[in-house]
Structure 1
Amino acid sequence: MKLNGIIFDFNGTMFQDSHLHEQAWIDMIQEYNPGNPLTEEEILTNLHGRTNDKILRHFVSPSLTDEEIQKLSLEKEEYYRTLCLAKPEQLVLTDGLIESLDTLKEMAMPLTIATATIKENVDFYFETFALDRWFDPDKVVFDDGSFPGKPEPDIFLHAAKKIAIAPENCLVIEDAYSGLCAANRANIGMIIAIDPFFKNRETFLKDNLCKNGVITDFNGFTDYIFAQQA
């Protein structure tokens, strides 16, 4: 394949905040459904990378109304942002990412973000990390309720369309099991998993979800991705 565009997941990929999302979700689930235990497998397959409606209906109640979903979703994300702001030392992009994005910008590589989070969080990230240095906010794909979330392929198909690149000529970089499944279903040409804490590497590789390998951070990222094409 010829690499013509890159689609980044955000949470757990560009920003190492998985533990903050986990804390926010666990606290909410324990409040609204205290009898529902959260196993590591459940967190891996049914929490990370999923849209809020799927998470809430899976862990809280399948009978939640759309209005209840909206209320609980906004409540959870506001709590999550509070957790982020409580630890400003952790409000940094993944190691090596700034340098990689600067290089890709110099190369005029089309870039975008495809994230399962909601617009309020996307706005928070653009303000906090000055993402408009590299990304056009109008080309970012987020959970607006108009398409099914990961592991369905729609989010990456929309992202590829936003940057006018065929999916088979795109690279997706993802940290979540459901996101990697979505990238495969979207026929993305290059798929790389990021696993900074060596938690899920074996599962990703065993299930053949990341055809172009697993990285721990973005140091040497541009050299790595173009070496994959050699």
Structure 2
Amino acid sequence: MNAQLNDLGPIKAIIFDMDGLLLDTEGIYTEITQLIAERYGRTYDWTIKQNIIGRGAADLARYVVEALDLPISAEEFLVMREPLMRERFPRAEAMPGAQQLVRHLKQHQVPIAVGTSSSQMSFGEKITRHGDWFALFDTIVTADDPEVTAAKPAPDIFLTAARRLGVAPGECLVFEDSPFGVTAAKAAGMRVLAVPDPAMADTKFAQADGILRSLKGFQPAACGLPHLVWA
């Protein structure tokens, strides 16, 4: 289904998740986790992946180590994957419609932010090829931001973004691809549209105010923002 955006009311600011929403990094995470799992003769597949999309690094690592019964600690898992991420993140591609939507909103002076579970360091690696349009965001809030005390599904990241934008949470619209992110946005008192991985069941997004198959399914005019003609 597509969201009934006219039910959202007027929106004054938009906050975007990054991984799997603005940038196609989920495939990179999958490849890296599979490589580590294979070192120990384990198989990492969708049955596990669907439960970690959107988690913060520490929470994700604990879940993977336990689910795969890896003979390493969560901390060792994170250390192991660090060089693999540094090597692969710079090749991340933009998700369909992401750059056009961001440029459109900036052109029309709509406050925009990124609220991501990534650390500041991995954020920098991921935007290697996208610095020009990521520079358009009014603020970037990462999971290790000094003002963030808890990662998603806690609301801290989104509340920090709204505070810096100077917009009330109830007037913010969040785009998310993960159930954890949707939970965080709703806990922050915001409206949220899910743009999930095609393999993710819609039932996992019951909290969302709507589900889109792509950012290109979003019509800003339906919630009081300037009209966009998608290319």
Match of 2:46 among 16, 40, 59: 40
**Distance (whole Å) between structure 2 residues aligned to residue 49 and residue 167 of structure 1:** 20
Q: CA deviation at 1:216?
A: 2.4
CA deviations on 1:147-186 (whole Å, 9 max, x unpaired) are 2111111111112112121111101000011111111111
Q: CA deviation at 1:42?
A: 3.1
Superposition map of 1:17-32 within 5 A = 17-31=25-39
Q: CA deviation at 1:200?
A: 1.9
**Distance (whole Å) between structure 2 residues aligned to residue 74 and residue 163 of structure 1:** 34
| SS state at 1:22 partner | helix
CA deviations on 1:46-91 (whole Å, 9 max, x unpaired) are x211111111222226xx88xx73x643542431232345xx4xx3
**Distance (whole Å) between structure 1 residues aligned to residue 151 and residue 214 of structure 2:** 25
Establish whether residue 167 from structure 1 lines up as the match of residue 203 from structure 2: no
1:50 maps to a residue whose letter is R
Give the structure 2 partner of residue 55 of structure 1.
60
**Distance (whole Å) between structure 2 residues aligned to residue 74 and residue 110 of structure 1:** 36
Are the aligned partners of 1:29 and 1:60 in contact in 2 as well (CA < 8 Å)?
no
Q: CA deviation at 1:116?
A: 0.6
Instruction: Give TM-score, length-normalised by structure 1.
Output: 0.78
**Distance (whole Å) between structure 1 residues aligned to residue 160 and residue 217 of structure 2:** 28
Which residues of structure 2 form unaligned runs of 5+? Answer: 1-8, 67-71, 226-231
Are the aligned partners of 2:10 and 2:223 in contact in 1 as well (CA < 8 Å)?
no
Residues 29/121 of structure 1: CA separation in 2 closer, same or farther (3 Å cut) = same
Give the structure 2 partner of residue 129 of structure 1.
130
Give the structure 2 partner of residue 142 of structure 1.
142
Q: CA deviation at 1:34?
A: 5.4
Give the structure 2 partner of residue 107 of structure 1.
108
Give the structure 2 partner of residue 152 of structure 1.
154
Residues 185/105 of structure 1: CA separation in 2 closer, same or farther (3 Å cut) = same
Are the aligned partners of 1:204 and 1:210 in contact in 2 as well (CA < 8 Å)?
no
Are the aligned partners of 1:44 and 1:177 in contact in 2 as well (CA < 8 Å)?
no
**Distance (whole Å) between structure 1 residues aligned to residue 61 and residue 108 of structure 2:** 41
Q: CA deviation at 1:187?
A: 1.2
CA RMSD for the aligned pairs?
Answer: 2.8
Give the structure 2 partner of residue 226 of structure 1.
221
Give the structure 1 partner of residue 96 of structure 2.
95
Please state which structure has a larger fraction of its residues in helix: 1
| SS state at 1:49 partner | coil
Instruction: Give TM-score, length-normalised by structure 2.
Output: 0.78
Are the aligned partners of 2:89 and 2:125 in contact in 1 as well (CA < 8 Å)?
no
- The sequence identity of aligned pairs, in percent, is 22
| SS state at 1:6 partner | strand
| SS state at 1:178 partner | helix
**Distance (whole Å) between structure 2 residues aligned to residue 11 and residue 78 of structure 1:** 18
Are the aligned partners of 2:24 and 2:94 in contact in 1 as well (CA < 8 Å)?
yes
Superposition map of 1:186-225 within 5 A = 186-188=188-190, 190-195=191-196, 197-205=197-205, 208-211=206-209, 213-219=210-216, 221=218, 224-225=219-220
**Distance (whole Å) between structure 2 residues aligned to residue 28 and residue 162 of structure 1:** 38
Q: Which portions of structure 1, spanning 4 or more consecutive aligned residues, are displaced by more than 4 angstroms?
A: none
Q: CA deviation at 1:103?
A: 1.1
